[in-house]
Amino acid sequence: NAGVMQNPRHLVRRRGQEARLRCSPMKGHSHVYWYRQLPEEGLKFMVYLQKENIIDESGMPKERFSAEFPKEGPSILRIQQVVRGDSAAYFCASSPPGGTGELFFGEGSRLTVL
């Protein structure tokens, strides 16, 4: 019974490159959330998706960031033209449909922008 799977665990990009972070929710979960954790800070909500739908993206930066959760395959958080300020840990979480609301977090993807 695998938990939330994120990959890659560590990603290094140079300024201007693209970063793609993938998240497979727990089995049976259809809701995916992305949170960002900057160094020495708490997690900040970015986006909430269900299969093929973005439900709430109020925490996403207006430019360069996008997220999707296709019918088949993992959810993807895409960061275009990365800058040093994008260096952070990106956590994906999932929850069951109509469940208690508990979020189950993955181990995170740590992005370093050189």
Residue from 31, 60, 88, 111 in contact with another protein (CB under 8 A): 31
* Stretch of 14-22, 27-35, 61-69, 73-81 lying at the interface with another protein (CB under 8 A): 27-35
Q: Which CA distances in Å does 27 have to 4, 63, 86, 114?
A: 8, 32, 30, 35
3-state helix, strand, coil in the chain (%, to 5): 5, 50, 50
Q: Given the complex with another protein, which of 14 and 39 has the nearer CB atom? A: 39
- Quote the least distance from Cβ 81 to another protein, whole Å: 27
Nearer of residues 13 and 31 to another protein, judged by Cβ: 31
Tokens of residue 51, six digits:
């299969």
If binding is defined by CB under 8 A, does position 65 make contact with another protein?
Answer: no
Q: Amino acid letter at 101?
A: G
Contact 108, 9 (CB under 8 A): yes
Q: Which residues make up the interface to another protein (CB under 8 A)?
A: 4, 31, 33, 35, 40-45, 48, 55-56, 58-59, 91, 93, 95, 101-108
